[in-house]
């Protein structure tokens, strides 16, 4: 990537002249007829040091007086990372002279803020970060700038961006956003808890179901930390579970709901059995998107799925629990499939920007391989890089937990699967149709059959609005 700077160098210049061999002695006659015999050296070795200041200037972009780039970023769950990112932005301003104002948005508030901004597009920022599922809503509203040139530049570094992720932000051969980094949903399992209960660490959903009665200790330990009432994690879990059982929210075209199926009902029966075992924390019904982090970090649950923030926190604050935690690839369904939903963190430029070229410079800076990796290190590897070569770094490959995060990428699908991303898929996701379906079964509000039928009606209603 390009960096803008003024570099002062003090250069010591040495001018060295080679010494010649000494010549044959000569006889020289001087006053008082004293005869002196001496060697005459024709060339003398001389070293001269010259101190000189050299100014190297890289051309800065022309910046209008009123120019300022406004950016919306989602808050990190890892303490201190937003401050680190703000420092990266300040460094960008220092090098380029381009002023930037950054607002960090709580993930639970993002849906409302994005929808309000799409209704009033004049309030959109220059640069925006959103989860991948939001891309079609912004694109179909024609609120995104073509950033194919930025993607082409970024593809020159670190093996290029993951083509599967780039495909999700490509329309008619052009890219309208940049996959920044992946919040891959790892599976977290307390190895010590399962070992003490005398059961093997589960690798399938069925093994987890069979182990939970031996893991549950009322008031002390719940087997499954499913924070069903939040925005992100439960939607990822709901899809992973239903896919593992062979179900899907829609057909491959995304034109009709298919959620009310025998496969989905089997997944809901599974969830109901876990509830009957009292395998969830007592407060699961009022949980939020951070609850499973807190449950795991305080030793209240033995299994959950989450982005890497739990592992990053444990590595920093509780090394003993980190050592007793296995971060694994997704659990398998009966057919052996290990699907997981992924919602990559994505950066884009909006059409509301008065200075899109300046905004692109900030986009390139943030999404560069170097700065992205620095951000990942600041999170203590809570995220996985979208650059193909980054997962091969020794710091990832030599740590089994970090490696599991990277390998989970190979099992991950966009939340709209098997259909392509669309505005209807975004609304199905942001309306939490699937996680509410699970909630209705977990709380006993509906039977699995009733919940599946209710979800299908809601999905078809959403699809109809966009058709």
Going along the chain from its start, the domains and CATH numbers come out as 6-57 (no CATH), 69-183+356-376 (3.40.190.10), 186-342+413-466 (3.40.190.10)
Contact predicate 310/301, CB 8 Å? no
Question: What is the token pair recorded at 149?
Answer: 């040139």
Q: What is the mean pLDDT of residues 412-435?
A: 91
Which H or E run includes 454? helix 448-466
| pLDDT score, position 230 | 65
Contact predicate 348/359, CB 8 Å? no
Give the largest CA-CA distance in the chain. Answer: 130
Residue with more model confidence, 55 or 276: 276
Give the pLDDT band (50/70/90) at residue 380: confident
Contact predicate 382/311, CB 8 Å? yes
Has residue 360 got a pLDDT over 80? Answer: yes
Give the pLDDT band (50/70/90) at residue 435: very high
pTM: 0.76
Q: What is the pLDDT of residues 68-106, one digit of tens each?
A: 999 999 999 888 999 999 999 999 999 999 999 999 999
Give CA–CA dist 145/264, Å, rounded: 39
Q: What is the mean pLDDT of residues 322-345?
A: 93
> Which residues, in sequence order, are bridge partners of residue 70?
101
Burial state string for 265-300 with b = 16 or more CB within 10 A and e = fewer than 16: bbbbebbbebbebebbbeebeebbbbbbbbbbbeeb
Question: Is 63 strand, coil or helix?
Answer: coil
| pLDDT score, position 262 | 98
Has residue 28 got a pLDDT over 80? Answer: no
Burial state string for 8-29 with b = 16 or more CB within 10 A and e = fewer than 16: eeeeeeeeeeeeeeeeeeeeee
Contact predicate 346/130, CB 8 Å? yes
Comparing CA positions, the residue from 332, 292, 302, 315 lying closest to residue 195 is 302
Question: What is the token pair recorded at 64?
Answer: 């209008």
Average confidence score pLDDT of the chain: 87
CB atoms within 10 A of CB 418: 15
Give CA–CA dist 379/399, Å, rounded: 16
Quick one: 438 exposed, middle or buried, by C-beta within 10 A (0-12, 13-18, 19+)? buried
Contact predicate 419/254, CB 8 Å? yes
Q: What is the mean pLDDT of residues 170-193?
A: 94
Residue with more model confidence, 446 or 382: 446
How many angstroms separate the Cα of 163 from the Cα of each of 5, 67, 367, 373, 388? 32, 34, 15, 18, 9
The beta strands (E) that lie in 392-460 are given as 412-414
Question: Is 57 strand, coil or helix?
Answer: strand
Q: 225: phi > 0 → left, psi -120 to 50 → alpha, else beta; which? A: beta
Residue with more model confidence, 208 or 219: 208
Residue with more model confidence, 450 or 111: 450
Quick one: 203 exposed, middle or buried, by C-beta within 10 A (0-12, 13-18, 19+)? middle
Q: What is the mean pLDDT of residues 191-213?
A: 97
Quick one: 116 exposed, middle or buried, by C-beta within 10 A (0-12, 13-18, 19+)? exposed
Question: What is the token pair recorded at 192?
Answer: 């010590």
Contact predicate 175/132, CB 8 Å? no
Question: What is the token pair recorded at 10?
Answer: 């003090």
| pLDDT score, position 35 | 42
Percentage with pLDDT > 70 across the chain: 87
| 116-119: long-range pairs with CB below 8 Å, 24+ | 118/143
Give the pLDDT band (50/70/90) at residue 3: very low
Contact predicate 10/50, CB 8 Å? no
| pLDDT score, position 5 | 36
């Amino acid at each position: 990537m390009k960096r803008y700077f003024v570099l002062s160098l003090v250069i010591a210049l040495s001018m060295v002249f080679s010494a010649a061999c000494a010549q044959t002695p000569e006889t020289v006659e001087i006053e008082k007829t004293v005869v002196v015999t001496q060697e005459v050296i024709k060339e003398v070795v001389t070293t001269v040091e010259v101190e000189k200041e050299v100014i190297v200037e890289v051309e800065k972009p022309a910046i209008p007086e009123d120019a300022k780039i406004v950016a919306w970023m989602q808050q990190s769950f890892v303490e201190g990372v937003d401050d680190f990112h703000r420092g990266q932005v300040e460094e960008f301003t220092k090098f380029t002279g381009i002023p930037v104002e950054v607002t960090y948005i709580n993930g639970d508030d993002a849906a409302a803020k994005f929808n309000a901004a799409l209704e009033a597009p004049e309030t959109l920022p220059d640069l925006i970060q959103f989860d991948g599922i939001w891309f079609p809503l912004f694109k179909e509203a024609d609120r995104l700038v073509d950033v194919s040139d930025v993607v082409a530049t970024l593809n020159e570094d670190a093996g290029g961006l993951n083509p599967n992720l780039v495909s999700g932000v490509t329309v008619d051969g052009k890219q309208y956003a940049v996959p920044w980094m992946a919040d891959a949903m790892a599976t977290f399992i307390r190895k010590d808890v399962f070992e003490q209960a005398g059961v093997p660490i589960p690798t399938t959903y069925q093994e987890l179901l069979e182990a939970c009665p031996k893991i549950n200790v009322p008031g002390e330990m719940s087997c499954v930390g499913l924070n069903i009432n939040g925005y992100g994690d439960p939607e990822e879990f709901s899809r992973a579970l239903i896919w593992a059982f062979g179900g899907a929210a829609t057909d491959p075209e995304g034109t009709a709901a298919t959620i009310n199926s025998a496969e989905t009902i089997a997944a809901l029966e599974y969830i109901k059995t876990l509830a009957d075992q009292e395998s969830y924390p007592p407060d699961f019904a009022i949980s939020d998107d951070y609850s499973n982090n807190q449950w795991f970090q305080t030793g209240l649950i033995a299994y959950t799925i989450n982005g890497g923030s739990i592992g990053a926190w444990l590595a920093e604050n509780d090394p003993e629990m980190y050592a007793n935690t296995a971060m694994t690839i997704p659990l398998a369904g009966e057919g052996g499939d290990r699907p997981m939903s992924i919602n990559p963190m994505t950066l884009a430029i909006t059409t509301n920007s008065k200075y899109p070229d300046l905004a692109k410079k900030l986009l390139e800076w943030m999404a560069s391989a170097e700065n992205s990796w620095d951000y990942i290190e600041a999170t203590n590897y809570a995220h996985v890089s979208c650059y193909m070569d980054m997962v091969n770094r020794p710091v990832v490959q030599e740590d089994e937990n970090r490696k599991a995060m990277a390998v989970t990428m190979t099992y991950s699908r966009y939340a709209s699967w098997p259909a392509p991303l669309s505005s209807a898929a975004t609304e199905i996701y942001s309306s939490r149709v699937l996680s509410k379906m699970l909630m209705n079964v977990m709380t006993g509000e509906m039977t699995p059959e009733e919940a599946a039928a209710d979800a299908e009606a809601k999905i078809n209603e959403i699809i109809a609005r966009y058709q």
